[in-house]
Amino acid sequence: MSVCPELLAITGAADNLWFLRFITSRDDLRKLAGMRLESLLKIPGVGKKYSETIRSWQKGAVFSQEISCVGPMIISDARRILELNSQISSLEEAIGEVAEGSEMARRISTIPGFGQVSSPELAGEIGTLSRFSSEASLALYLGMCPLTIQSGDFSGTRAPRQVNRRAKAAMISALAHHVKQVPESRIYYDKKRAEGKSHNQALRSLGRHMVRVIWCMLRDGRDYELR
């Protein structure tokens, strides 16, 4: 935010909701420097902690000459981000309601890290287990079984054509959350990283094992269990 670098410095990330609400609370960014404490405390998410940070910035707030033309664009973008966040929340809530009617989605959601978005998405893309001849076939479909490519001194992997990209993205996202919640999975992930695999490669290696778990869960009608 070149029109006022110190303003962006008061937050660790420009997409923090309290920060977006703060800069959209006035129709001119320059007016933010004059907001009183009682007005700041009325902004959702600001609270005492961030109001003190804002008050400290206000004491030396300086704006560049471009503020009159760039400021409205910044406010407009911030309002659009808030609007999109609201729409995303509404969609996630709707997805959760639909997922309640899916036994497969409910069962997959018992796996730590497989939340209200990835679970119904995986269930929707899998459809029914009868479509797959084996768990290896399911792993291929979910993108957890990359093909090895070797040519001379080169060795690498590529995704097979049979991969469902939406399902793969849902698996990778869910696995990233999963390793944060299950110590055993984290140990396996760290081991693969130590072997030189990239983040996504390590997640796919873990995902290959997780597909076996999902296959057995759906085949036997069982929820996930931590042992």
Residues 154 and 206 in one domain: yes
81, 112: one domain: no
Q: Which domain holds residue 39?
A: 5-96
pTM (predicted TM-score): 0.58
User: 130 with 197, same domain?
Assistant: yes
* 64 shares its domain with 147: no
What are the DSSP calls for 148-194, one per residue?
A: EEEETTEEEEE--TT--HHHHHHHHHHHHHHHHH-HHHHHHHHHHHH
Pairwise CA distance, residues 5 & 29, whole Å: 12
Question: Do 167 and 106 lie in a common domain?
Answer: yes
Average pLDDT (206-222) is: 94
Is pLDDT of 221 > 70?
yes
* Residue 225 placed within a domain: no
Q: 128: exposed, middle or buried (C-beta count within 10 Å: 0-12, 13-18, 19+)?
A: exposed
pLDDT in tens, 41-69: 999 999 998 999 999 999 888 888 888 88
Residue 184, amino acid: E
Same domain, 56 and 111: no
Both 118 and 76 in one domain: the answer is no
The fraction of the chain above a pLDDT of 70, given in percent, is 88
Q: How many domains does the chain have?
A: 2
User: What span, in angstroms and rounded, lies between the C-alpha atoms of 108 and 97?
Assistant: 15
Same domain, 109 and 216: yes
Q: Is the dihedral of CA 27, 30, 32, 34 positive or negative?
A: negative
